[in-house]
Amino acid sequence: MGCESEGPPFVFINVNPLSTQNVNLEQGTVHVQLYPNPATDYFEIICEEEIEEVVIYSITGVKEKEERGNIRKISIDHLGKGIHFVFIKIADQIECVKLIKN
């Protein structure tokens, strides 16, 4: 009795696409931009506040890079082409920005 299956497991991931606009988790007090976006070898973080941490995830949710401190220029030459999500921690807020790597 129950559910049986042969072969590898099937996993369904529902991804809601984001635009290249910024996503604020806390309403509108921090403004962050990535330039250039799309990028090839690096991108720069443009914001007035001090950055505490930057974490980059693949579209599948795998952590690809983590930087601590007030980093403004991030090398991405090791990342694969496609969509990545850059989480930027500033004070008590986290900004998520979609990055396209060419």
What mean pLDDT do residues 3-7 have? 58
pLDDT score of 76: 97
- What is the rounded distance in angstroms from the CA atom of residue 39 to the CA atom of residue 89? 21
22-101 architecture in CATH? Sandwich (2.60)
Q: What is the distance of C-alpha 76 from the center of its chain?
A: 12
15-64 pLDDT, tens digit each: 555 544 444 444 456 789 999 999 999 999 999 999 999 999 999 999 99
Q: Which residues, 6 or more positions from 6, have their beta carbon under 8 angstroms from its beta carbon?
A: none
Cα(45)–Cα(12) distance, integer angstroms? 33
Higher pLDDT, 76 or 13: 76
Query: What sign for the dihedral angle of Cα 48, 23, 33, 94?
Result: positive
- The domain limits of the chain are 22-101
Q: Are 50 and 30 in contact (CB under 8 A)?
A: no
